[in-house]
Structure 1
């Protein structure tokens, strides 16, 4: 769809002087034609002062008139329709269309771009963090900016928007979660109002689970992670729900192709008590029945998520909030799942979160405050194949409980101190197959896992002088794997296998099976090179006690979570980063360059042919190694103005070396370093948002990255007239490079704003030029060889139209 504005019909030639004289013996008459006048004043929207030298353009022509010393202008034009553009350096241009019939006055106020709010993802607070604080790799994201990005099928997607930032990627379209600076998806700690999210996507990775209307802001920590966070080695995504209005009723929502959503804010006691409820629900079954191929007519795919928050402010020193978040997915497809050598004819997946969190904030005085947070969370999945004989009913879950006490103390202008303690209880049901179900497939009940993760932390941001600021912190984490459980014993000097098992040890309820712990130092130093530029260096150590076990490129929702025990050690990551940050022209432009290196111990990989889902002795299916990742991230951002956005380039590598405890018998790829599944050396992202008028805005995003690795067979062998591939190395080849262009057009009609209603339409095209990006590669026999084939998820443009509304 071509959206460039075209010039209006050219005007007739001006009649500069027309005079017709009739001379007769009785009279003489002169006739004069007067052109209508367009005049007015141009002023600053903030100060109201006149703007001298502002240019008034007519019908997109480069020539025009300028305002005088009082900010006034005037034009004489023939009657007709015109497009008027008023602009001046440092101000956002103003455009309007008018019909000129008689003298018309048009006064214009221009917005100073240095004072307008940012409408790109990275907010002004993020700029202050980049320049003024020691933190590196910390990005505060604006939900208003995220909503302007082109969205696949009209769904505003937090996870997909994160992938436009440097250092953040995914395995591919439809993949589950994000990879941050060479980390796996399970190495990201994701919180929504302090409650954890173990699976951040709907429909196996197509959409985020977060209802965007209920989100106030997001803070992504890729480096310089504060000591109050622990338990993951790559990143922290801290999502804050919006606080409901204490003053007036508000309603907002949207209607789209994939889902419909609504949010309502209701003050119950003015300025003291209010509640917000936001929900989103999809109805997608008709798409598969109407337009899907024959093999997808029985497919069903629906989801919903609901977020609520009760906010109570009894007095100026205390606030209490109660937040809930619930998500649910149901997916049905023919012949997708196999288990215990049985392929289901039809499979149903049912999974979701149920989270509750409570927060009490107390302000003792302007220097000292307290936060107490309690969280209860449940994530569960169910895989069901309703076959009459080979029925499959697989269930697993994670129960999470957390209590955290956090203090903020600012004794003077030089110190900002944060300290506290936290305790987390994990109870994991790793798998229950066909419990109390009649089937030819036998029941398998894996024992429940229980553990504690305790933490003490302190941070101090110290401003030594005007140039030097130091942020130093330390966290001590203690992990306890608790009974009841059974620890298997194996022969010394041999890999852990069923044949090398020599016995078992019973651990009673509440007893400690295994403990791990240690200090996690954090350090960030900022040195000001000038008023608008800084140099920073940072280091942090992180420990991770819970991991996601999967031998798929992107984990399915049914993938197994596992806490550390006697044989599976916690991951330990050491991370170093160096960055330079600089802003230009009143913080309108920002440039950043960050380099990093991470070394991770006890990275878990799987043996060839591993059975991870229902293995009683899961340690026999895994081997450990180490990982390293390093990269350089460059980003140039324009935060304000009629045209805003950014360009970012990332060079990044993510490698693993897995030798196990017995390298001669267990190592992968002959013990050499090999690329991880999410290793993409080159990435380029461009985001551009253009808002020529208050009614229209246009957004473009372009993404390019190197194709991800995959394991390519080096040959094959034949057995019983069947060919089987032979793999000598892991991830020794790559799929083709990925690139995609997206477009969105938002039409806002504020004409009813005085009546408290505002509506907008968003038209989106995802994958504008229909690039057939490969998601994976599979091989088929072709004569005496194996021929590779690439599989694409979205090979054509996806067009969507969404209506959004607000009632204020």
Structure 2
């Protein structure tokens, strides 16, 4: 921890040498009484002025630390005058409704900065999400550039946060928890993320120390809000990887609005760049809609629905992977027979009702249902040859296998089927009372899972069938003596589970703003709990209970510089989801307890001006102590749990990010993260966890040509040190602590804006476009060989196990067209 403290103190003291400007910003959206955006509103203060755009949006720079009069005027609406007092570098959102009858006057005194900033929530702009290139572009693509968030698989939308795994992250859309399919084992199979970026309005992310109102997970919260349209519009995108269309619609009286998007995805372009030659026929498609109805000034209703289908057909043909060292080059050659046919069909629907009982009280009722039907069927025979590569440059056989060290075959079979139904009912309340904010919620969840697991693997090496090491069998000493024992699969998993889980959870929390002297403070304290019961055929029912207190404290000193300090943490629990209850044999263990972690997060948030442009620097020091840990192995994106709380662990690290307008008018950032996470299984001593990603650097950069601003550049750079490489089946992980090679990736995009508000077209057939742009994307610009896992192959002669990397995609080019109507 001493290294972290030195780094943190260094950044805190560096603030003294940074310049700042005594100014602030007020921005927001201006609507009329029908909730329609108003353009060409003059917004002015004594020194500056601006106008609202066609969406009603405005942004005005005002002097800080003094009362300033801001005037809103429009040719057909009455004038509005507001007196504001903002802190230095304050970025305050002020939304206004203008009318044609009465002039309005008011005063806004800002004493505590933006609520999300106080809570330590990272805000990501939707426009940035849509523009930044990535093999799986979207919200998760941007998250992977944040410190503390790691993913070494560009084909996957899953991510790990501060030493946790993929199952430890909460995802909400419009306050509704969303889920992922259960059986996916490879990033190739995932297809589409639930979140449709064309529908997004706000994206908030917290990497730890979050409030009690968020659910029972150990690592992070991704909170997404879909927008409510104010007028008709449409957006479309097409590329070599797929296409999407989204449509906004609003009724004449403004009470109804809906936004609907449909997406299609095909990863063939990416998968065909890998070492394994395949016949690959994937189809990923989803339809999503968000409908809003305002029945009165007090009552609002909304419906969020999603239907998605992933149809994955995979027929591998051949593969050659070169590995080893310069002195001892090796190669693995594989010839395949068979195929894999997977299908994941999900249905999701949620109804949300919001009742504004009074100015100070709001109630919300949320009912949702999620159904997934999943099929994972494959029979794949792999016949392999492991040998030494001819490294003599003058040889005619250079680069080919010159000496075979081992041959064999491997037959993998699966007939896995799962049908899960998850139903939620939640009631929430929000109350303001004398500068205090009280929030509470109660939720019931019913999970019904029908699961059949049939998997087996047979390994044959040079004619000798390899028996599983977990059974005590007669010694196989062929050909010197006959083998009289049974022939059994190397791996064999068979189970059928009919499981029901009932969960009751709730939370209560309190927040308050105040002062200590002239220093502003913000306090939050809360507690959440959960009681759950596991029921099922041939299971002894088991009921458990958790209690999780959490708190946050923020301080803004009365300094000239705009600095926040935050301390947050608490006791966090993760009651086991279905996958955590299922052991390596596929059998559900109902007695698995909730994993628990103590979070302590100390952070600093500093807003400043550089080159007369806004910047922000955020640094966080964190520590997590975990008990009742359920150990797991990670193979691509498939997680297999031990279904036993037989370990303890810790995670510690430091995150740093600086973001701002490195190029005027664009947002870019640089991230750095240091992480160390280890676990102690059965008191054998601490070893690296599968997600122990020590160092992380990331750069997200936007630029444009000064003389031709319609030509834009987007750059996404990520460097992660290698993850632990795992271990062979049934092996002791304490004996296999090697690491994969470092993950290095650069994705770059170039865009030419043909039509926008500043460059309208004179051609009649193009005048229906509000925006038209064409772009070129290059994924893995430097063609780095990144690995996600190892394939373990045994040399029958030397008895050695070779870790052969499974490489990801190479350099790929993509063309994209964006349209907005």
Work out whether the TM-score is over 0.5.
yes
Partner of 1:467: 519
In structure 2, the CA distance between the partners of 1:232 and 1:744, relative to structure 1 (3 Å rule), is: same
Please give the alpha-carbon distance, in whole angstroms, between the structure 1 residues aligned to 2:639 and 2:673.
35
Structure 1 counterpart of 2:627: 601
Shift of 1:468: 3.8
Once the two structures are superposed, the pairs formed by residues 284-683 of structure 1 within 5 Å of their partners are 296-334=277-315, 345-385=338-378, 393-412=415-434, 414-431=435-452, 444-465=495-516, 466-487=518-539, 513-528=542-557, 530=559, 531-547=561-577, 549=579, 565-566=590-591, 568-585=592-609, 588-605=614-631, 622=644, 624-639=646-661, 641-642=664-665, 644-659=667-682, 671-683=684-696
CA distance in 2, matches of 1:408, 1:730: 53
Paired residues of 2:652 and 2:675 also in contact (CA < 8 A): yes
Residue 57 of structure 1 corresponds to which residue in structure 2?
none
Change (3 A) 1:269 1:427: farther
2:273–2:812 CA contact under 8 A, matched in 1: no
Instruction: Give the 5 Å matches for 1:66-105.
Output: none
Task: Name the residue aligned to 1:76.
Answer: none
The match for 2:233 among 247, 250, 267 is: 250
2:697 equivalent to 1:684: yes
1:736 paired residue among 741, 749, 757: 741
1:486 aligned counterpart, secondary structure = coil
**Alpha-carbon separation, structure 1, partners of 2:172 and 2:355:** 22
> How far does residue 221 in structure 1 lie from its aligned partner after superposition?
1.7
- CA, structure 1 residues 672+351, in 2 after alignment: closer, same or farther (shift >3 Å)? same
Residues 252-294 of structure 1, C-alpha deviation per residue, up to 9 Å, x if partnerless?
Answer: 1111111111011122343111222101013566998xx7899
Taking a change above 3 Å as real, the CA distance of residues 518 and 685 of structure 1, as seen in their structure-2 partners, is same
The question of whether the paired residues in 2 share the 8 Å contact of 1:135 and 1:224 is answered with: no
Structure 2 unaligned blocks of 5 or more? 1-41, 49-60, 63-88, 94-109, 318-335, 381-410, 456-491
Alpha-carbon distance change, 474 to 754 in structure 1, aligned in 2, over 3 angstroms: same
Q: Once the two structures are superposed, what CA deviation does each residue of 1:196-247 show, in whole Å capped at 9, x if it has no partner?
A: 22249973357634321122222112123221112211111122222233xx
Q: Distance in 2 between matches of 1:595 and 1:298?
A: 47
Change (3 A) 1:755 1:335: closer
Instruction: Write the deviation string for residues 672-691 of structure 1: whole angstroms up to 9, x where unpaired.
Output: 11111111111111111113
2:816 alignment counterpart: 802
How many angstroms apart in 2 are the aligned matches of 1:523 and 1:788? 45
CA distance in 2, matches of 1:128, 1:307: 40
SS in 1 for 2:127: helix
Q: Distance in 1 between matches of 2:666 and 2:528?
A: 47
Equivalent pair of 2:314/2:341 in contact (CA under 8 Å): yes
The two structures, once aligned, show a CA RMSD in angstroms of: 4.1
SS at 1:448 equivalent: strand
Question: 1:238 aligns to what SS in structure 2?
Answer: strand
Q: How far is the alpha carbon of 1:786 from its aligned partner? A: 4.8
For residues 604 and 447 of structure 2, the distance between their equivalents in structure 1, rounded to whole angstroms, comes to: 40
1:195: how far off?
3.5
Tell me what 2:203 maps to. 218
2:390 counterpart residue number: none
Match of 1:315, SS state, is coil
CA distance in 2, matches of 1:525, 1:358: 35
Task: Determine the structure 1 residue equivalent to 2:218.
Answer: 233
The Cα of 1:541 is off from its aligned counterpart by 1.8
Determine the C-alpha separation between the residues in 2 that align with 1:166 and 1:638: 16
Is the partner of 2:358 in helix, strand or coil? coil
Are the equivalent residues in 2 in contact too, given 1:522–1:541 (CA < 8 A)? Answer: no
TM-fit CA distance, 1:705: 1.4
Judged with a 3 Å threshold, the aligned counterparts in structure 2 of structure 1 residues 802 and 115 are, in CA distance, closer, same or farther, namely farther
Is the Cα contact below 8 Å between 1:131 and 1:581 reproduced in 2? no
Q: Report if the CA contact (8 A) 1:227-1:459 is conserved.
A: no
Q: Select which of 179, 199, 219 maps to 2:160.
A: 179
Once residues 608 and 149 of structure 1 are traced to their aligned partners in structure 2, the CA distance between those partners, rounded to angstroms, is: 28
The 1:564–1:318 alpha-carbon spacing in structure 2 relative to 1, beyond 3 Å, is farther
Q: Say which is worse superposed, 784-793 or 446-455, in terms of deviation.
A: 784-793
Do 2:613 and 2:664's aligned partners in 1 also have CA atoms closer than 8 Å?
no
CA, structure 1 residues 613+532, in 2 after alignment: closer, same or farther (shift >3 Å)?
closer
> What is the match of residue 274 of structure 1?
257
Q: What is the correspondence of 1:648-797 to structure 2 with a 5 Å cutoff?
A: 648-659=671-682, 671-691=684-704, 692=706, 693-711=708-726, 727=732, 729=734, 732-750=737-755, 751-752=760-761, 755-780=768-793, 784=798, 785-794=800-809, 796-797=810-811
Shift of 1:186: 0.4
For the 8 Å contact 2:274–2:808, the answer to whether it is kept is: no
Task: Report the Cα offset of residue 297 of structure 1.
Answer: 4.7
Q: 2:172 aligns to what?
A: 191
TM-score calculated relative to the size of structure 1: 0.69
Work out whether residues 136 and 224 of structure 1, in 8 Å CA contact, stay in contact via their aligned partners in 2: no
Which residue of structure 2 lines up, in the alignment, with residue 78 of structure 1? Answer: none
Range moving further from structure 2, 778-787 or 299-308: 778-787
Counterparts of 1:115 and 1:592, CA distance in 2? 16
Q: Write out per-residue CA displacement over residues 495-548 of structure 1, whole angstroms, 9 at most, x where no aligned residue.
A: xxxxxxxxxxx55xxxxx322232433333334262501211111222111246
Q: Could you state the TM-score of these two structures normalised by the residue count of structure 2?
A: 0.68
TM-fit CA distance, 1:314 = 2.1
Is this contact kept in 2: 1:607–1:622, CA < 8 A?
no
Deviations 1:150-179, CA, capped at 9 Å, x for gaps: 222xx5322121000111012433346110
- Runs of 5+ in structure 1 lacking a partner? 1-44, 52-88, 91-113, 119-126, 337-342, 435-440, 488-505, 508-512, 664-670, 714-723
Q: Deviations over 1:679-708 (max 9, x none)?
A: 111111111111335422211122111111
State the match for 1:151 in structure 2.
Answer: 134
Q: Is the 8 A contact 2:751 2:776 kept in 1?
A: yes
- Cα deviation for residue 130 of structure 1 reads 8.1
Seen in structure 2, the aligned counterparts of structure 1 residues 419 and 759 have a Cα distance that, compared at 3 Å, is same
Pick the structure with greater CA Rg. Answer: 1
Q: Secondary structure at the match of 1:709?
A: coil
CA distance in 2, matches of 1:130, 1:167: 25
Q: By how many angstroms is 1:625 displaced? A: 0.9
Distance 1:328 1:206, change over 3 A: closer
Number of residue pairs aligned between Structure 1 and Structure 2: 620
Gap change, CA 1:384 and 1:657, over 3 Å in 2: same
- Measure the CA separation in 2 of the matches of 1:132 and 1:641: 26
Checking the alignment, whether the CA contact within 8 Å between 2:628 and 2:645 is kept in structure 1 is: no
After TM superposition, give the deviation of residue 588 of structure 1 in Å: 0.6
Range 305-314 or range 771-780, more displaced: 771-780
